Amino acid sequence: MTNLYIDFDGVIVDSIAVSYKIAEEQNVVENLKEYQEFYKKLDWVEVLERSKPINNSWDCLEKIIDSHKFNVAILTHVNSIEEIEEKVKMIRKHFRDITIISVPKTISKADMIKAEGSILVDDYVGNLDEWKAAGGYGIKFDLDMDGKGYPVIDRLDVLIDMID
Ligand SMILES: [Mg+2]
């Protein structure tokens, strides 16, 4: 079975858009340092309460698991312990036993996981570039179907027919 790693923010739920909205509401200035501080202190209870699944992601994930084609894990960058706690709580409402891997934001996903021969579905090209450089296979998740050089999907269940 192929190892399939699925990003969380911007792939399973629209939490990135929600976090931008909260930054706007809090008048966070657009510089890197303030953003980093903002994300360390961000209230993930609020973020996930306001986030919605993207294109039936929970049902799609279930179909992917039921296809028995993949070893599935959720691979997510995190900025705080609270972020891990809240993400795990939310995912466990849907799946009792899916593997959840949290990666500190400062570390590449490809440094945390053996990328070689494994698939990463992610909405951020930087992650896909690092994954590819490490010998992995990247798939871009993009609602505008802009793959930026990668195979692209806008809903997760199409992976089942896409990969042999
Ligand atoms: Mg993402």
Residue 4, H or E segment:
strand 2-6
30 alpha carbon to ligand 1 midpoint, in Å? 19
Q: Are residues 74 and 146 in the same domain?
A: yes
pLDDT at 164 over 80: no
pLDDT at 52 over 90: yes
How many domains is the chain built from?
Answer: 2
Q: Are residues 158 and 100 in the same domain?
A: yes
pLDDT, mean of residues 87-102: 97
Q: What is the pLDDT of residue 141?
A: 98
18 alpha carbon to ligand 1 midpoint, in Å? 13
129 alpha carbon to ligand 1 midpoint, in Å? 14
Q: Are residues 32 and 84 in the same domain?
A: no
Asked if residue 20 lies in contact with residue 47, where contact means CB atoms within 8 angstroms, the answer is no
Residues within 5 A (CB) of ion ligand 1: 7, 9-10, 123
Q: What is the pLDDT of residue 69?
A: 95
8 alpha carbon to ligand 1 midpoint, in Å? 6
Q: Are residues 62 and 26 in the same domain?
A: no
How much is the mean pLDDT over the chain? 96
Q: Are residues 37 and 118 in the same domain?
A: no
140 alpha carbon to ligand 1 midpoint, in Å? 10
Domain that holds residue 157: 2-14+53-162
Q: Are residues 38 and 87 in the same domain?
A: no
Q: Are residues 128 and 145 in the same domain?
A: yes
Q: What is the pLDDT of residue 31?
A: 85
Q: Are residues 7 and 27 in the same domain?
A: no
Q: Are residues 6 and 70 in the same domain?
A: yes
pLDDT at 12 over 90: yes
75 alpha carbon to ligand 1 midpoint, in Å? 9
Per-residue pLDDT band at 145 (split at 50, 70, 90) = very high
Q: What is the pLDDT of residue 29?
A: 78
Q: CA–CA separation, 136 vs 74, rounded Å?
A: 16
